[in-house]
Each structure stands twice: as structure tokens, then as C-alpha cells.
Amino acid sequence: MADDKSKRDFRDRNRVSADEDYEVDYFARENGVTIEQVRELIKANGNDREALIEAARVLRERK
């Protein structure tokens, strides 16, 4: 049975929710930073996934 395209799922996969521990944990493991660093990155850069990935890369390179 095909998916009903009129029923939309409003999850936004290009965002990282600081309120969802599993999203923060996954992003931290995926990008080699700590959970605390992810929360700080979200505060500083917003929750756009691409911007956070770039910010995490810069953070890792500074070490």
C-alpha cells in the first residue's frame, strides 16, 4: 500500500532539537563532540544541522 502523501510528517530532519536527548546524543557521537559541546553549539549557532556540522568540524580542528 502506498504512503498517503496528504498526511505529512512535520519532523524537520535538517534541525537538531536541544530538548531531545536522543538527538543531541546522536549528533554528538556522529560528529565527535561531547553532549555539552552540542548544546553550546546549538546556543551559539541555532539548530540548523548543516551549520552545526560545520561548527563541530571547526571545534574538532581547534583541538
Q: In the structure, what pLDDT confidence band is assigned to residue 1 with cuts at 50, 70 and 90?
A: very low
Domain presence at residue 34: yes
Rounded CA-CA distance 61/9 in Å is 36
* Structural domain boundaries, residue 48: 21-62
- With contact defined as beta carbons under 8 Å apart, do 41 and 34 qualify? no
Could you give the number of structural domains in the chain? Answer: 1
Per the CB < 8 A criterion, the answer to whether 48 and 55 are in contact is no
Q: What is the pTM of this model?
A: 0.79
How confident is the model at residue 2, as a pLDDT? 52
Residue 8: the pLDDT is 61
C-alpha cell at 52: 552545526
- Over residues 4-63, the pLDDT tens digits come to 666 666 667 889 999 999 999 999 999 999 999 999 999 999 999 999 999 999 999 987
